[in-house]
Structure 1
């Protein structure tokens, strides 16, 4: 199944660092998402953008996660030639990830 069926997300930036908040639509899916959406899988998903590091911060009381991705914005707002230097639309890339259905 596609991640967006289980979660919603919001992205932002600080320089060349992307921040994605990912939150379970149903709190019962938090542990399943924790197992499926790992730092390694997110790093692989963003590898084509030059990502060098991913750190996931778990937010269990909010049933979500904060992912911080380094070097993924081609230099950031002032240095990138891409149309989305802020990385706002990159949450949709994460939400397109395939995950196993919750058991």
Structure 2
């Protein structure tokens, strides 16, 4: 099953840091996502994009996670040659993870 079937995501940016939220639709899926979508798994999934550390923060009362990905945007908005300089499409890429 793909992650998008049980969760949704949004992306933000600050300089060369991408910040991804991941929120389950149903709280009953939170435990499975917590076990399978680790910082290490996200780092591996984004291996060609994220050059720095990935840190996961948990918000269990919201059924959510926040992933902060360092060195993830090709130098940031003013330096990146990417078409998606803010990294907004990264949330869709995250949701394509197999779980």
TM-score range (shorter-chain normalised) is: over 0.9
In the TM superposition, 1:72-87 aligns within 5 A as: 72-87=72-87
Quote the RMSD (CA, aligned, Å): 0.7
Measured in 2, the distance between the counterparts of 1:5 and 1:51 equals: 28
Q: Deviations over 1:65-88 (max 9, x none)?
A: 000000110011101000111011
Structure 2: stretches of 5+ with no match in the other structure:
none
- After TM superposition, the score normalised by the length of structure 1 is 0.93
In the TM superposition, 1:1-103 aligns within 5 A as: 1-99=1-99
Q: Following superposition, which runs of at least 4 residues in structure 1 exceed 6 angstroms of deviation?
A: none
Structure 1: stretches of 5+ with no match in the other structure:
none
- After TM superposition, the score normalised by the length of structure 2 is 0.97
